[in-house]
Every structure is written in structure tokens, then in C-alpha cells.
Chains A and B, each alone.
Chain A
């Protein structure tokens, strides 16, 4: 035994004597994780969150979250002598006076964008592969919560510098609060400590941005990861993989090295972006004043869809009994996002209700094998994408020489027409892919070799696919639709008839599929040849 081994043994013994951790650690250090590139998406979110904590802490050392008016005397000449808030002035100082400050600001902003992209793409992976199914519904809801908080946290973050662009964003947020029926103006005055913009808002959102929300994030991320750990990761179907096992690599050492290495890679790429790609150059925008705005004002991308919805809303406002309701703000700013996020959070429950499937699932679906789910996802993405595009309608219009009116009318029509179209096309595509899979299993792979038969007929040689591939293409389950009774034994409509009818219909749609190839069919075909 070397000296080093002896010391390690002593330390481990010391800790175990006091905690009994050895048993738990032994089990968990050999824990198996399945490998797939798409499982790294969640890791990207986790690592960018750590980068956000580190770079954010750095920024707090110099940032002064105050709306006190100061005269700028820093080294950036175009703004010298201008009146501005201490928040804006200190952000300029971080950018120009603190060595590495601009780098950290840019790393922080890029990490936030990567965090949000990571969350959205991770969510898409989980959705389209059905990873949210029992027993992982809790984690799905936590994930939706993290997405929502991420949007809020990001918005508060880019609002803090109090530049002209972010102040305009805050103005819009204030208008949304103010538009709430009955309590709107009161809530707005409470949030801003009086009339807009006041002097209280930046210090208040600073506390929320650096303390309250990161605390909630930490708690939710911890639970999210503990559940992944405890429930074991899902895996893609394939030879040797079942609902009852996990095939992959042990945590120690392979996963530790890979995951640890990946953290450094994400940090390295973020630092690279911070080094070469300018982001949110607040010195170009100038300090916030409510009487000014710059053309082409755009929020960060994860707010863009919301802005796009607000932009395309029809000019609808009603006054009843002397009280004003701004539908043009409430519908796109609160009601639609409310429906979108509630639907997202409830989706696992809706699907299991519709299919009647209450079993545990640890094998992922290939998206084509769940055509209705995939189509619903494509529909939701199309809706969000059209909104996002409309959020940049002014930029698109000037770039492509269109008028704002053309852009806006395109979006207003597209937001209604394109999502259902995406649903239909995606579903058809999935079924076609299923048909292709079936063909592949039954008739084999096209080799491209043409052979002329003695009778003059030309045929292409098909080669059978490997047993592994054949298994991959046929291992999925095909659920039968629900057939809930609408009439009882005596032919009388049951009380739950309408509910059952709806459920039957949805479940029939969910169960649409091209029957998968079977060994029996393969053998029959062989008999023919």
C-alpha cells in the first residue's frame, strides 16, 4: 500500500465513521448512465447555470443597483458629462474600467442565452421522446417551472443595466401590469414604488435577480437532478435495452470524466463567445429616458415570441361601466402565454388520460412512433416560431425590403393557419416514416444493384437488415385505442357518455399507426420469394 492510498483510506474511514456514507457511495459511484448525445442538453443547462452563478457573482462586486442620478465621468467619451442612473454608470465602468469586466458581462449574457436555448431544446428532446411519461411527471413540471423562471430571470437580468433598450422593456412590462383588470394600476404602483419609472425598481429587481430567483433555481435544479438520479435515466430503445434495465457506463470514472470535461467545454465555448462576439453593447444605447427609444428595439430571443404576440394583436380595447379592459395587451401578454404554459405543464397527464396508459416507461419513443404527440409538438413549435418571427418583424421588414404591414399580416394569418397545417403534415410524415420502417424490415435495404433475370426482367437486389436494426425498428409498442362504453348493457347512454366519447376519439387519434412488421410476415414473404 502506498502512502497516498493509506491517506485516502484514512480520510474515507474518518468520513464513514461519522456518516456511514461508504455503503451509499459504493452503490452510487457505480451507478449506470445511458449514453446519447441528446442527454447532454440538460447538462448544458446545468453548466451554464453554474457559469451564470460564477460570472454573476463577479459582476455584483462592481454593479451598483441604484437609480440615483450621477454624472458620467468614465473613459467612454461619447457619454461623458451625461446624467444617468448609477446602475447604468456602473455597468459602463464594468465594461470599460474593470479589467475583464466586459468579458465577464458578455460571458454572463451569453451563458443566459445558452441556458435558455438549452432548456428549450432539452424540453423538446424530453417531449418528442416521451420521457415525461410515468414516473417522470414531477420532473416535467419542475422543468416547465425552470423554463418559466428562466424567462423571468433573463428579463430581469438584461433590465438591470438601465440602458435605453432595457428601460423600454421595463416600460412594456409596466404596461402589462397596468393592464390587469381592477388591480393593475395598484400593482404597478407597488412594483415601481410609485409612478413609472420611479427610483425603486432597479434595486428591487436586483434582489429578485441575484437572491430570490437563483435560490429557487438552486432548489428546483437540486430536486430535478435528485429525481433523475433516483429514478434512473431513460434510455433509447435498442438491442439488449428493456423497460427493466439500464445499459450504459458507470459514474466512476467514465461519467465523472465525461460530465466534468463537458462542464469545461461549455465554459470554454461560453468564454470564447464572450471574447469574440459582442452582446448587449449598452454603451451604444445610452441611458434610459422615457421620452426616447431606438428603432429596432428587440428583447432577448426567449422574450421575442411574447413581444411578437403583442405586436400582432388586433387593436381591441373595451370600456364597460367606465372601466377599461385592454384586450390588445391582456390576450397576447397574459392569457395566451397562460394557456401555453398550463398546457405544457399538464401535457403528461392529458396524454395518459387520453391513452389510458398508466404504466411506467423507461424506454424512449422514437418520435415517429408517437405521431399524434409529435404532431402536437410541431404545432406548438410552429405557433411559437411564428410569434418569434413577428417579434422581429421590423428587423425582417427592413432587411428584406418588406413593409411592416406585410410582415404583420403574414403573422396574423400564419399564426392561425400554419400550426394546424404543421400538425397534419407532421402526422403524415410520421406515418410515412413508420411505413418506410416496415418496408425496411420486410423487404430489406435497397442495395442499388440491378440484376437482369433470365426472362429479361430487371430487379433491384434487397439485402436483409441486421437483426439489431430490425429489432430497433419493431421493438416499440403499438397501443390499441380505448373503447370506453358510451351505452350500458341495456342500451341506455351512460352518464359519462360524452366524456368517454371524447376520450375514445382522442385515443383513436393517438393510436393511429402503420402496423409494425412481424416475424410472421417476414417468414410469409420469404415463402413467396
Chain B
């Protein structure tokens, strides 16, 4: 007789599948090489729409279950009609989402139940950079602050450890904090 013990997921993250994938990809590292994609089309003014559907991974072409779109535009303060968030706000959202996904996964793996988790992200930017006013000012964020408010069945130290581990394993945190080469071609 075998007894199967089903451990209910506390946060809805299938950690077992992640751990199995980790084992599988350790043995077959090629399958772990992914290419993520987005295509973006100019609509009008500074309004554009990114479309996200296919990606490559596990050794072959893959598709999301449906096509996702993200509109980007600028607010009236930039003399634009505000049809979407600005690209830099989308970056902040991406950072928060990535850390949040990590937080929930790590919590699941450690048996910690999240009641609520909220991240507030702020990025400091001096427009003197993108407007070309001051060559010493960078275009992008000078610094970014992420603040978490988390309610969970764990001590303050354990919650702090969750937040630390979510940064350690975050792709977007790495993308933002470390340089990477960007190759742009045309035609």
C-alpha cells in the first residue's frame, strides 16, 4: 500500500513542479535556455503597443495561451494623450511583479502562507537626462526604491528572508542592477 500525502498549496504556487524542473534542467541544461520576446508597433504620437505571444524554451518554440498586449504612452504633462503607462512605469511594474512572483514561490517552498503582499516601487529620474539638458545626468533611474508590506504567518525575520531571497532569484532585479549588452539592428 502506498499512501500519498497531498500537501495543499498555501499561496497557489506549484513549487513541486518548479523543483522538478530544476532537477530536470540540471541534467539537460540546453532545455533551460529560453528566449523571451515582445514585438512593439507604433500607433500614433508616443503611443505604442507591445504584443507578447511566443517564446522559445525547453528546446522548442512555445506560445502563451493567448496574446497579451501592453500599451505604452505618456501623460498630458508630456503633451501626450495618456493611452497607457509610460515605458519606465512598466519597468517598475515588471520589477515589482518579478519580486512578487519570487516572494510567493519562496514562501510556498518554506511553508509560509501569505495573507497579503503589496509592493510599492518608486524610481528617481531627472528629465535633464532624456531632454539632453545635462550630459552628466543619466537617462534612466538614478535609483529605485521598493517597499514591501507583507502579512504572513511568519516572523519579521522570516519575512525579511523571503524578501531577500526573492531578490536573489529575480530576473528583473538582475536586469536592472547589472549591465547587459543590448544589440539593436535595423532594416
> Are A and B interaction partners?
no
Listed in ascending order, the chain A residues whose CB lies under 8 Å from chain B are: none
Listed in ascending order, the chain B residues whose CB lies under 8 Å from chain A are: none
